[in-house]
Copies of this chain bind each other. A is one copy, B any other.
């Protein structure tokens, strides 16, 4: 029941421990015959290297930590897919953790990863304060996905939320709507940029922007939606800062007997699996999460490996996916 160690493998193979170590790490400075003996012995004993020991002795762990801000938002699992795929291809393991929508927990998650000795950390939808972030980044390479930072210490991968906010808003304006309200994502990642894009587009068309503060959750969307639906004169269209909240908004509107898109149009953001569900069929701004995940891994490994000096900030273009919740006035 006690696990075999390298020593055991060396003994049953009749070779030295160092030899076994070389073989386990796939070195080519080992004779074929030795390698086979080692492998055979390892298989026979069911040997597996102890990662804690390996991390302690070497500097690298070939592991990256991925912190997802909210497991309940389909956006994050989709990013995780891209991250996993890219990391695995590069020979890295990934360990995950959730920030449960709270900056403090997010921070803790990153710290545990550091304590564990991961080679780098990926933060998706970071809510953590940017000074904290800078500080953490001095201890481990960090790449942030989905949040805009001007940092020189942290790399970022984003979609252009400003452009995305514009895209959504102009789509609605193009459909002939004028009283368009934005339900924002509060402290959520990308929220302020989307809001700015919305406001800019509104002003460009000499329309008055109106923002209702909410969050990136279904519940928050529901509440905000109720407020709007309860008005004597509801808006003609709503641009919601993400799909999850948009689903809440749709529910609130339906509760109040407002028909979408007949009575008003709704546009979301993220184009998650939720938006594609037949019964929801939400018009939404798409950001390619798979690509963002992959890109983030690339950038992170670059920094881990090469020791790049400056930070890199990738921005990918969003696109609008039209579905059934938006229609001409």
Contact = CB atoms under 8 A, between A and B. Distances in A.
Contact of A279 (B51, B93, B251): B251
A56 B48 contact: no
Contacts of A84: 98, 100
A52 B55 contact: yes
A240 interface: no
A95 interface: yes
Given A72-B273, A84-B100, A278-B250, A117 B77 contact: no
- Please state the number of chain copies in the assembly: 2
Contact of A96 (B52, B97, B251): B97
A24 to B, nearest CB: 12
A114 B93 CA distance: 13
Nearest to A254: B278
Interface string A37-51: 000000000001111
A64 interface: no
Interface string A49-65: 11111011000010000
Interface residues of A, number: 46
Contacts of A116: 51-52
Contact of A56 (B53, B250, B251): B53
Contacts of A97: 94-96
Contacts of A52: 51-53, 55-56, 61, 116-117
Contacts of A235: none
A115 B51 contact: yes
Contacts of A117: 50-52
A112 B93 contact: yes
Contacts of A71: 71, 76-77, 80-81
A247 B255 CA distance: 21
A234 interface: no
Interface string A1-19: 1010000000000000000
Contacts of A3: 139
15 contacts: A50-B115, A50-B117, A51-B117, A52-B61, A71-B76, A72-B74, A72-B78, A80-B98, A84-B98, A94-B97, A95-B97, A96-B97, A218-B277, A247-B277, A251-B279
